[in-house]
């Protein structure tokens, strides 16, 4: 997820796009690993590790959503305050 965040930052994506890439990288990798273990390899024993990875990824994605939501709310609040101050100056 960190690689997804910093690579999207390096490519100059905006905040919303970086958030999306960060979450998608982690969540899609977990789904892909389970798919590969169960269908391509037909090995249920090998699907246990991706299942654990998926649980960890959903937990960390939930934490990141909470952090990113707080940052978004903070940015939104400052934008509103700045627009109110600019309107008062007119």
3-state secondary structure of 85: helix
The distance from CA 66 to its chain's CA centroid, rounded to whole angstroms, is 10
For residue 35, count other CB atoms closer than 10 A to its CB: 13
Query: Which residues make Cβ contacts (< 8 Å) with residue 30, sequence separation at least 6?
Result: 50, 53, 54, 57, 58
Domain that holds residue 47: 2-89
Domain count, the chain: 1
pLDDT at position 11: 93
C-alpha span between 77 and 50 (Å, rounded): 39
- The per-residue pLDDT for 90 is 62
On whether the CB atoms of residues 23 and 1 are closer than 8 A, the answer is yes
Q: What is the pLDDT along the chain (90 residues), one digit of tens a residue?
A: 788 889 988 999 988 888 888 888 877 877 788 888 888 888 888 888 888 888 888 888 888 888 888 887 887 787 777 776 666 766
Contact 25, 46 (CB under 8 A): no
- pLDDT score, position 86: 67
């Amino acid at each position: 997820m960190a690689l997804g965040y910093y690579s999207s930052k390096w490519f100059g994506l905006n905040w919303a796009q970086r958030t999306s890439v960060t979450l998608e990288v982690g969540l899609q990798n977990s789904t892909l690993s389970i798919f590969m273990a169960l269908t391509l390899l037909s090995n249920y024993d090998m699907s246990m590790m991706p299942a654990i990875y998926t649980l960890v990824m959903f937990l960390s994605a939930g934490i990141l959503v909470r952090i990113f939501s707080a940052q978004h709310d903070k940015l939104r609040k400052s934008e509103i305050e700045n627009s109110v101050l600019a309107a008062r100056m007119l």
